[in-house]
Structure formats: C-alpha cells, structure tokens
Structure 1
Amino acid sequence: MLREINDRAAIDVLLREGPLTRSELEAAIGLSKPATAQLLTRLEQEDVVGKAGLRSGGRGPRAQRWAVNGALGYVAAVDLTPSVADFVVADIAGAVLAEYQVPLPVHRGADVVGTFGEALSHVARAAGLSLPELANVVIGAQGAFDPRTGLLSSAPHIPGWLGFDVPARLSEELGIEVTIENDVNLVAVQEMSEGKAVGLDDFVLVWLSEGVGGAVVIGRRLLRGTTGGGGEIDWMRVPDPVSVDTGEQWPAAGARFGNLVDSPAVVRLAAAHGVAADTAWDAVALARKEGADGFLDDFARRVAGGVASLVAVADPQLVLLCGETSRAGGEEFAARVAERLHELVLPRTPVAVASVRGNAVRAGALQSALATARADVFGLVANGLAASELSLRAVPARTE
C-alpha cells in the first residue's frame, strides 16, 4: 500500500513539474535517497518513467533527469466556437503532438458529428495516431451542458449541436470517450492549474467579452448544478445602476445581467458617456486612454451588481475577471469593480484579472482530458476536473 502511494506521489510530481533529477524528486516527495532510487528503478522497469537527458549547468557532474513515459496514453481537447474549432492532441505527460484549427459547420441540419469526426481524425493522424489510440476527448463549448440528458442549451450560436445527446452520439460514432464542458468552466480549470487560482479553494470567474459567462469553484470543484446551469449568470436579474440614460427600458424585475455587460450594451453605455467604439474592449481601452472615468465607473457598477450575488452566496477567496473586455480594463478596472462590489456586500473579496493567456478554453479542456487519462492509467485521483489540483505526498516507509 505504501509503495503504491509513493509511486503515485512521484508520478504526480513528475507530471506537474516535468523532468526532475533523483535529488529533486526526493525533495519533492519527502523520501530518502535510497527509497527514491528504488522507486525510480521500479517505475523504469514498469515502463512508467524513463531517462530524459541530463541536467545541465552548475558545478560537478550533470545529473540524470527522469520523466513520465508520455506514450502510455493520448488525449485530445477542442475549443468549439461558431467560427472555428481549435483541436490539440497531447500525450499523457502533457506534451503537445499536433494542433489543428478548422471552421466547422454549426448551422441547423449540418452534419456536425461527421465533420467533427473528420477534423479529429485529421489532427490524430498529424500526431501519428489513430482515433482508437485517443483515451478521451474533451470539448469546450459556449453553452450550458445538462449532464442528465447530454443536451446543450443557451447556445443559439451553434444550433446544429442542439437537440441531441452530444457526448453519447460522438462517443458512439467515434468509438472513443467524448465529454463536453462549458467553456468558462474550462477557463476556471486552467486558472486553477496555471493561473491566479493556483492554491485557492474557492473563487468565482466572470467572462466579459462579446457575451458574458461565469464559473463558480468551491473546494476546488466546479459547481455545475443539477442541470449544468451552475455559473450561468447571463440570466440573472439585476438593477441597472448607471448614472446616464442609455435609451434602454428594463422590466420591473431588473435587467438581464447579460444584457447589461455584453459587448453591445457596453458600447451603448460608452456612447452615452461620449466614448465611441465598435466593441466593449475597444471602448474600455479608449476610455482608459482618454480618462473617461464616468463610463468606467458606470461599467464597474454594472459588473459589481452581478458579481455581488455570487459573492454574497459563495463568499469566495477571489473574483477573477477574464475575456477580452476584462483584459482591456486590466487591474485598474478590476480595482474599480472591487470598490463598487464592496459597497454592496460584506465580504471584502479581492478582484483581479485572470492571468492565463492564449486559448484558455482549449488549455482547460486539455487539463480535463489529461486528468481522466491519468486517473485511468496511474490511479491518480482527479479532484474536480484537473488532476494537478491534487497534491500527493509520499509516505516514508518504516524501514528502508
């Protein structure tokens, strides 16, 4: 039993930190030098780890490095959007083997399953693999996924993907395990893995771009809800607290949060303050440049009004803003949101801008796919979506 725990601890560290020398691994898992050497010998004989070159630099002889055998499994991840599908294939150690971007039909009546399968086969071949060699595929999509039915909802932008059990149909057609996840949830997974949420137990993530989305993480697990609607803040009803007339009339119950902070709404709010732009992110960037504090304060009030509901219920350690509009505002805008938020709720929750760059949806999908594959191959427990969320530590044997 202790041997299995120690083996898993070593594998987990090597997967998270990359190739390590024996002494580095020894320090990371807390075993003695002889015990670590025996562990590496055993794992090498089982073809779980292998030599990965020598550590260069420093004085004295160069030390041998060790790494997990990436050929023990392969996964794929996809960011599915109306304009393009972004594919990646990686080995179980996380090394990217192939990438592929291609527009896929998403209109109603399109053969979305067939064209998706063709694109996945293409990127698998580019990685030197066949489809059956992929352990699993994770798709990130802009919409809510109901785990009870397999149906996507709140996704009018990809109508061809609506009305059928997506993971069941794809798994059956492709012959491999396919799962689907909300895109903002996957951004939260990536933030837990490599961003500002590393080490945090509870946080809220709000996506501000063309549209709006959210993710709630409690105890390092995504709060999905019974129908997959956890974090779907677009439909929350909140009052509009702005100081100018934007020409919009809201019902007595309040405006939909998504109708207050999506790109068209922010553009209208900016125009009411004399800031002309075509997108929300351009409006925010221009306002920062020109010092249009009235617009930025009103926009921050709108964001804080929606975030306040999440903070009042979850009391998270951090609120993270992500998406193009959030990046345009930067930490300066995050500070404005925090100031307005603290006028509405008791917790003094900090607000920051998410740090993960590039395609965070695809990266989060890859983390999720790897977590599942590593659980199957190595027995590593996947906490939430990302196996890297769980830090294992070796247990010293009584005698060595």
Structure 2
Amino acid sequence: MRAGSPSLLREINDRAAIEALLRNGPLTRSELEAIIGLSKPATAQLLTRLETGGTVLRNGLRGGGRGPRAQLWTVNGALAHVAAVDLTPDTIDIAIADISGATLTEHRAPMPRTGVLEAFHHAVTKAAAQAGLTTDALHHVVVGSPGAVDPGTGRLNYAPHMPDWNDRNIPEELRALLGTAVTVENDVNLVALEEMIAGRAVGVRDFVLLWPADAVGAAVVVNGVLLRGATGGAGEIDAMRVPDQAHAETGAGRVGSRYGDLLDSAAIAKLARAHGVSARTGLAAVKKALGEGPAGREFLVDLARRVATGVANVVTVLDPELVLLAGDVAQAGGTVLADLVAAELRRLVVPRTTVQLALVTGKPVRSGALHSALSVAREQVFGLPAATTEPFRAPRRHDEERSAPTSAR
C-alpha cells in the first residue's frame, strides 16, 4: 500500500475515530469531527462506513431546548468481550466487560485449598454465563496473581502462599481450561499499571509502587515500562534482607531480617503492642494508632522506619521520581504514614524522592487487569496501538481474523 493512499488515510481516520469514541464515550458527529479534525462531510462518510461494517452503533440522541437533537454514536461493544480476574489465596474476583469498557457482570467466589484449577474454571464459567457468554467467546482474559509467572516455564514463582498453583504451566493450563487467550500478570504490576492510567503515576516515567502486606510486593516502572526481570521476579522484594530499624524491641533481627517478616500482619501488630497499641491484626493496629496520641504516633514512626529501610535499597539503585504506597495497610495509615516514610527515607538516601499514597483504591488489581485485557482486545480487533503502559504483548487469537470488523482490518 502506497503511503498517503486513500485507503491508508481511511484506516488512519477510522482508528482515530474509534479511539476517540472509546476514550470519550458516545459522541455526536460534530463532537467527533472536532476531536479528529475532519470536515463535516468526511466525518459523516466515516461514520457511515463504520456503521456499515458494524464497528459503531447509533446510541440515542443528545440535545434539547430550542435546537434539534443530535445523533449519538458509540463503539459496538459486542464485537469482543474480555475478563479481568483478581486471584488471591482466598478469593477469585472476576469482571466481564465488552470492548467498549462497559462492565457486564461481576462475580466473586471462594478459592479452595485444593482443586484450584477446577474452582477457577467454574468461577470464570459462571461469570461468563451471567454475561450471556461462554468462556471461549472471551477475546482475552487477564489474571492478576501474587508472585510472578516465569516467561520461560510458565510456572508461578515467589508465591509460597499459593502452594496449589506451583509446579504448573499456569498460562498454558488456564488457556486449555477456558478455550481462549489468557495472560497471568503479577498483581502489584497491575496496580502500577492502573496508577499509570488513572492514578498518581499519570505522566510519571520512573516510579516504584510498594504494597506492604503479608507478602510484600513492589512494581518498578522505568521510562514508562514495567520492569519484569528475566524470570518475572523484578519487584519481588519480600525476601530482601534488611535490618530492623524500629526502636521498639520485638525480637526481630537487627542485623538482617526478611523484609516481609517485618511487614506482615503479625509483625505489625507485635510492633504496635510494643508501643502500647493493642490490636489483633496489623491493619487494625494502623487504623487504631491514628487516634492513640503519642503512643500511636511512635508506633507509626517505627513502622515507617521499617518500610523506609526496604524502600531505601530500591531508591538508591533506581532514583525514581515517585514512590507510591498501596494496599489496605498503606491506605489505613494515610498521608500520615506516607509523610513519615518520606521523612525516614530522607535520612537514609541521597535522592529526595516523593512518597505518596496510591490513588486507585477499591479493586485496583482487577481494574488493572481489565485495562490490560481491553488494550489487547482493542489492538487485535481495531488495530489500535497498545498503550505504552501495557505490561505484555499477548499472542493473537486464532479466530481474530474472523471476528474483526472489516473496517478495522
């Protein structure tokens, strides 16, 4: 095809229009015209072409008052469907959406200790059925999981708390079960992706996201790209050896302890008790400390020392623009904990790195998985370039040529 040929220009304009409709929702012809910069006749022809190909649909009218109401246009969501799954040792949390991004259904199921593949298959099958679909009708499925899948073997590493998922080629087995393309991504990486799309890391090229929990996780983004590592283990800092800088004595190793052992729920609760703040879990201790006066403050300072000691090792090597604290414990501590971590970090390292709370809350892993799955589907169905934040390039579906609309090929 010659550069500048009419067919190439039509493809470029079609994709620009589809992207604008996906980003902005239903638009009138004049609104779309203003966004993509075409003339009124050219935009009208474009919409006719996309409607004939089944790529866009009429979606009601906009307007009122004295003037005529204008036709609204939207992307045909039924062209493809995706699933996003947040997989934990205890639960399977699923959302099914169409290619426009509209969520069709949600489903949550318990994760048993054995028979995990069967439980996963059953949960996704049920969610798909709620959306009027079968699993093989899903264009792509993205699963957010603790640990990391080794790209060479497909095995889940760094996830001892998910024993029944080990020693398997997880992506391959899930693809066989569901009959469709599946990508398994580290859960904290997906949270970082969501922060890049809709959170505090929008426009930030280099940052680290830390999730202090029973298994401490981190995501590292360098020059706008997730750092994955040769075996998928970049950011798996739970096993990193760090000294305990907390002033209160809890029996933790002063020379060097496993970072995760200093920040799991039991360790945080024990540190709180050493300061006179009694709570059954680490999360409860952090929440309670905010209203406990000097004792609560000193506990949070000690906790910040533990967090900052591990973060300092990462900051010293990477010198990122931003450190984000994510997860329930970080959110419970709020800006108080983030500011304390920043102050402790300044004592330990030369870079003056900003420390903030992650902005995306609720279901950040599932949200990141959904954006990832949509990015894959939109690239394959519409030819739209994957977002620069996309953490992987998925294999193409065997039936994508059959399913893609003519106008998008």
Q: What SS does structure 1 have at the residue aligned with 2:347? A: coil
Give the secondary-structure state (helix, strand or coil) at the position aligned to 1:342. helix
Aligned to 2:184, which of 170, 180, 183?
A: 180
2:315 to 311, 318, 322: 311
Please, which moves more after superposition, 36-45 or 285-294? 36-45
Question: Is it true that 1:208 corresponds to 2:215 in the alignment?
Answer: no
Give distance in 2, aligned partners of 1:6 and 1:55: 24
Question: Which one of 197, 206, 212 corresponds to residue 193 of structure 1?
Answer: 197
Equivalent residue letter for 1:328 = A
Aligned equivalents of 1:244, 1:147: Cα separation in 2: 42
Give deviations 1:60-91, integer Å, cap 9, x for gaps.
33332221110110111111112221111111
Per-residue CA deviations over 1:102-134 (Å, capped at 9, x if unaligned) read 113233xx2x32332222221111111122211
Flag the structure with more relative contact order, 1 or 2, with Cα contacts below 8 A and sequence separation at least 6: 1
Equivalent pair of 2:243/2:253 in contact (CA under 8 Å):
no
Structure 1 55/306 Cα, relative in aligned 2: closer, same or farther at 3 Å?
A: farther
1:278 deviation in Å? Answer: 1.4
Alignment partner, residue 27 of structure 1: 34
Shift of 1:329: 0.8
* Residue range with higher mean Cα deviation, 371-380 or 204-213: 204-213
User: Could you give the per-residue CA deviations for residues 281-334 of structure 1, whole angstroms, max 9, x where no partner exists?
Assistant: 221121111222211111112111111222222222221111111011111211
The 5 Å alignment of 1:1-400 reads: 1-56=8-63, 60-107=67-114, 110=115, 112-250=116-254, 252=255, 254-291=256-293, 292-383=296-387, 386=390
- SS of the residue corresponding to residue 325 of structure 2 reads strand
- Matched position secondary structure for 1:54: strand
Q: Counterpart amino acid of 1:39?
A: L
2:266 maps to amino acid:
P
- Over 3 Å counting, the alpha-carbon distance change for 1:200 and 1:11 in structure 2 is farther
Are the equivalent residues in 2 in contact too, given 1:209–1:326 (CA < 8 A)? no
Residues 1:57 and 1:355: Cα distance change in structure 2 (over 3 Å): farther
Letter paired with 2:349:
V
Q: Is the 8 A contact 2:214 2:260 kept in 1?
A: no
Deviation at 1:56, TM superposition (A): 4.4
CA offset digits 1:212-245 (Å, max 9, x no partner): 2111112322111110001111112222211221
Unpaired segments of 5 or more residues in structure 2? Answer: 1-7, 392-409
Amino acid paired to 1:243: H
Shift of 1:35: 3.6
* Contact 1:262 1:280 survives alignment (8 Å): yes
Conservation of the 8 A alpha-carbon contact between 1:76 and 1:89: yes
Residue 357 of structure 1 and its aligned partner are, at CA, apart by 2.2
CA distance in 1, matches of 2:275, 2:241: 24
CA shift in 2, pair 1:261/1:95, >3 Å: same
**What is the CA deviation profile of residues 248-306 of structure 1, one whole-angstrom value per residue up to 9, with x for unaligned ones?**
234x4x22211122221111111111111112222112111122221111111211111
Amino acid at match of 1:284: V
Determine if contact 2:244/2:253 at 8 Å carries over to the other structure: no
- Check 1:314–1:32 CA distance in 2 against 1; reply closer, same or farther (3 A cut): farther
Aligned-residue CA RMSD in angstroms?
Answer: 2.0
- CA distance in 1 between counterparts of 2:224 and 2:64 reads 37
Contact 2:252 2:262 in 1 (8 A): no
* TM superposition score normalised by structure 1: 0.90
Tell me if the contact between 1:193 and 1:386 (Cα under 8 Å) persists in the aligned partners. no
Once residues 11 and 311 of structure 1 are traced to their aligned partners in structure 2, the CA distance between those partners, rounded to angstroms, is: 40
Inter-partner Cα distance in structure 2 for 1:130 and 1:306: 45
- Using the alignment, how far apart are the partners of 2:204 and 2:68 within structure 1? 39
Match of residue 390 from structure 1: none
Q: Aligned residue for 1:398? A: none
User: Partner of 1:196: helix, strand, or coil?
Assistant: coil
Q: 1: distance between equivalents of 2:36 and 2:321? A: 28
* Counterpart AA for 1:41: T
Going from structure 1 to structure 2, the CA distance change for 1:106 and 1:22 (only over 3 Å counts) comes to: farther
Determine if contact 2:59/2:74 at 8 Å carries over to the other structure: yes
1:392 matched to which residue of 2? none
Deviation at 1:185, TM superposition (A): 0.9
* Residue identity in the other structure for 2:57: G
- CA change 1:384–1:145 in 2 (3 A) is farther
Q: Confirm or deny: 8 A CA contact 1:211 1:263 kept in the other structure.
A: no
CA distance in 1, matches of 2:340, 2:35: 40
CA separation of 1:9/1:325 partners in 2, compared to 1, >3 Å: closer, same or farther? same
* Pairs aligned (count): 382
**Using the alignment, how far apart are the partners of 2:65 and 2:113 within structure 1?**
55
Measured at CA, do residues 65 and 317 of structure 1 come closer, stay the same or move farther in structure 2, by a change above 3 Å?
farther
Instruction: Read off the aligned partner of 2:272 and give its amino acid letter.
Output: A
Give the conservation status (yes or no) of the 8 Å contact 1:106–1:161.
no
2:158–2:233 Cα contact (<8 Å) kept = no
- Extract unaligned runs of 5+ from structure 1: 388-400
